[in-house]
Chain A
Amino acid sequence: MKNKIKQRNNVNILGNGNQPMVFAHGFGCDQHMWRYITPAFEEDYQIILFDHVGSGKSDQSAYDFEKYDSLHGYADDLIEICDELQLKQVIFVGHSVSSIIGALASIKRPDLFEKLVLIGPSPCYINKDGYFGGFTRQDIDELVETLENNYLGWSSYITPVIIGNPEMPEYSEELRNSFCSMNPEIARHFAKVTFLGDNREDLSKVLTSSLIIQCHPDVIAPVKVGEFVHQQIPNSTYELLDASGHCPHLTAPDKVISHMQTFLNRAD
Chain B
Amino acid sequence: MNFQPFIEDAEDLYQNAPFGYMTMREDGLIVNINATLLKWLDYPRDEIVRQKSFQDFLGMGEKIYFETHLMPLLQMQGEVSEINLSLKTKGLARLPTLINARRILNQSDLQPVYRFSVLDITQRKQYELELKKAREKADQTVLRLKQINQDLEQFAYTASHDLQAPLNTISGLIGLLEKKVKLSSGNNERQYFSLIKSNTQRMKLMIKDLLEYSKIDENELEFESVSLNEVCEFALEMIRDQVNKENATFIIPELPTIYGHKIQLVRLFQNLFSNAIKYRSNEDPIIKVTYEDKGDKIKVLVKDNGMGFEMKYADQIFGFMKRLHSHDSISGTGIGLSACKRILEIHGGTIGAQSVPGKGSTFFFTLPKFPDRENFKG
- Which one of B65, B67, B84 lies within 8 Å of A154 (CB-CB)? B84
Binary per-residue interface labels of chain B (113-138) against chain A in the complex, 1 for a CB within 8 Å, 0 otherwise = 00000000100110010011001000
The size of the chain A interface, using a CB distance under 8 A, is: 40
| Inter-subunit contact B76/A147 (CB<8 Å) | no
| Inter-subunit contact A139/B131 (CB<8 Å) | no
Find the residue from A141, A150, A158, A167 having the highest chain B CB count within 10 A: A150
Q: Is B72 an interface residue when CB atoms closer than 8 A count as contact?
A: yes
| Inter-subunit contact B27/A157 (CB<8 Å) | no
- Specify which chain B residues have a CB less than 8 angstroms from the CB of A139 in the assembled complex: 59-61, 64
- Specify which chain A residues have a CB less than 8 angstroms from the CB of B63 in the assembled complex: 219
A179 to B61, CA, bound (A): 20
Q: Is A27 an interface residue when CB atoms closer than 8 A count as contact?
A: yes
Q: Is A115 an interface residue when CB atoms closer than 8 A count as contact?
A: no
Known: A146-B61, A180-B73. A158 touches B27 (CB 8 A): no
| Inter-subunit contact B75/A250 (CB<8 Å) | yes
Q: Is the interface of B mostly helix, strand, loop or mixed?
A: helix
Give the A-B contact count at a CB cut-off of 8 A.
102
A38 to B: closest C-beta gap in Å: 14
| Inter-subunit contact B73/A179 (CB<8 Å) | yes
A105 to B224, CA, bound (A): 49
A203 to B: closest C-beta gap in Å: 22
- Specify which chain A residues have a CB less than 8 angstroms from the CB of B128 in the assembled complex: 154-155, 157-158
**Beta-carbon contacts under 8 Å, A170-194 to B:** 179-180
| Inter-subunit contact B67/A245 (CB<8 Å) | yes
Interface segment among A1-9, A28-36, A56-64: the answer is: A28-36
12 additional A-B pairs beyond A167-B374, A250-B72, beta carbons within 8 Å, are A28-B65, A33-B76, A140-B61, A143-B60, A143-B62, A158-B128, A158-B131, A179-B73, A180-B73, A244-B27, A247-B67, A247-B71
Which 8 pairs between the two chains have the least Cβ-Cβ distance?
Answer: A142-B61, A143-B61, A139-B60, A28-B68, A154-B84, A246-B67, A157-B132, A149-B84
Q: List 27 A-B contacts (CB under 8 A).
A: A26-B68, A27-B68, A28-B65, A28-B68, A29-B72, A138-B60, A139-B60, A143-B61, A146-B62, A146-B65, A147-B65, A149-B84, A153-B82, A153-B84, A154-B124, A154-B128, A157-B135, A158-B128, A158-B131, A167-B374, A180-B72, A180-B73, A220-B67, A220-B68, A245-B26, A245-B71, A247-B67
Chain B residues at the A interface, C-beta cutoff of 8 Å: 26-28, 55, 59-65, 67-69, 71-73, 75-77, 82-85, 98, 121, 124-125, 128, 131-132, 135, 374
